[in-house]
Amino acid sequence: MRILIVDDEPLARQRLRSQLQEIDAGVVVAEADNGISALEEVAAADADIVLLDIRMPGMDGLETARHLTRLPRPPHVIFTTAYDEHALAAFETQALAYLVKPIRTERLREALMRAALIDAGRQSIAQQQPDGLGRRQHVSAMVGGALRLMPLNEVVYFQADQGYVSAVSAQSQLLLEESLRSLEDEFSDRFVRIHRNALVNIEHVAGLHKQSDGNVVVVFKDCPAQLVVSRRLLTGVRKRLRDS
């Protein structure tokens, strides 16, 4: 088995590497100290198993695990953490095991043996509505066989068209296989619906502008696009922008 170790503490990575050598259960093909690096390494190293810490700067382990489930061949995820209160959230990401530090070598051996018995091509279901720790800070999609991420704070707006949703930033666009409704439910604290086909990031809104034809459009700080606000939603949009 090809193993990727992900932990922001060098000593923790070293201990796991030593335990793996002791039980001779696989080959460590790479290490990473944060979630984004882990996503880059897992494909490059063709890892079968990811030993994944939860509390890390930037992208934490729970969000990392959800992105991993979207790969064409998701690796087995074994959480290795000093905190036991996130077990339920961890298993909702389809994790194979949840090991609490200090990790007993026998427990690690058992988890790796379980991974060896599971079909590597199993279907995984990503949890799309995280809460608290592990809440998504990125949206992701497969592009050309690779996983592409867009930070949520860079998304100017989501717009639905012909069954897909585009996440649009000032520099790029990402086509998501998610519904606008699910995105609205998950990110309602940061986005407001302005039309049946569009959500806008409140932080990127410069204001509202009334056009000569009577339509009101959203004007953005850093994006030339202007999106029409539904007349039915206009009052609520104005209130939301005023209160933000």
Nearest C-alpha neighbor of 17 from the set 51, 55, 53? 51
Structural domain of 74:
2-117
Indicate whether 6 pLDDT > 80.
yes
Nearest C-alpha neighbor of 14 from the set 35, 34, 28? 28
CA distance 118 to 90: 18
Mean pLDDT, residues 187-209: 95
Tokens standing for residue 205: 């809104």
For 51-90, write each residue's pLDDT tens digit.
999 999 989 988 999 899 888 678 899 999 887 766 666 6
> Is 73:100 a contact under the CB 8 Å cutoff?
no
Give the type of residue at 67: H
Helices (H), the chain: 10-23, 35-44, 61-68, 87-91, 105-117, 180-186, 234-243
Q: Could you tell me if 98 and 146 lie in one domain?
A: no
Residue 131 inside a domain? The answer is: no
Indicate whether 100 pLDDT > 70.
yes
Q: Could you tell me if 143 and 99 lie in one domain?
A: no
CATH number, domain containing residue 110: 3.40.50.2300
Task: Work out how many domains the chain is built from and give that number.
Answer: 2
CATH number, domain containing residue 226: 2.40.50.1020
Q: Report the pLDDT value the prediction gives residue 92, as an integer from 0 to 100.
A: 67
Residue 124 inside a domain? The answer is: no
Give me the residues paired with residue 191 across strands. Answer: 201
Q: Report the pLDDT value the prediction gives residue 31, as an integer from 0 to 100.
A: 95
Tokens standing for residue 23: 């039980």
Domain's final residue, options 85, 117, 149 = 117
Mean pLDDT, residues 109-126: 60
Mean pLDDT, residues 90-107: 83
Residue 132 inside a domain? The answer is: no
Q: Could you tell me if 222 and 178 lie in one domain?
A: yes
Neighbouring residues of 19: CB distance < 8 A, sequence distance ≥ 6: 103, 105, 108
Q: Report the pLDDT value the prediction gives residue 88, as an integer from 0 to 100.
A: 62
Residue 128 inside a domain? The answer is: no
Residue 221 inside a domain? The answer is: yes
206 C-beta neighbours (distance < 10 Å), count: 11
Q: Could you tell me if 150 and 236 lie in one domain?
A: yes
CA distance 95 to 66: 9
Q: Could you tell me if 100 and 149 lie in one domain?
A: no
Q: Could you tell me if 77 and 173 lie in one domain?
A: no
Mode of pairing for the β-strands spanning 146-151 and 157-161: unpaired
Q: Could you tell me if 60 and 156 lie in one domain?
A: no
Q: Could you tell me if 24 and 91 lie in one domain?
A: yes
User: Band of the pLDDT at 120, cuts 50, 70, 90?
Assistant: very low
Tokens standing for residue 219: 């004007």
Nearest C-alpha neighbor of 137 from the set 122, 124, 150? 150
Tokens standing for residue 36: 């984004």
34-43, 89-98, 214-223: the lowest-pLDDT one:
89-98
Mean pLDDT, residues 168-177: 92
Residue 65 inside a domain? The answer is: yes
Q: Could you tell me if 31 and 91 lie in one domain?
A: yes
Q: Could you tell me if 72 and 171 lie in one domain?
A: no
Q: Report the pLDDT value the prediction gives residue 71, as an integer from 0 to 100.
A: 80
For 214-238, write each residue's pLDDT tens digit.
999 999 999 999 999 999 899 999 9
Residue 122 inside a domain? The answer is: no
Indicate whether 121 pLDDT > 60.
no
Mean pLDDT, residues 37-47: 85
Residue 126 inside a domain? The answer is: no
User: Band of the pLDDT at 145, cuts 50, 70, 90?
Assistant: confident
Indicate whether 115 pLDDT > 90.
no
Q: Could you tell me if 186 and 237 lie in one domain?
A: yes
Indicate whether 113 pLDDT > 90.
no
Q: Could you tell me if 151 and 90 lie in one domain?
A: no
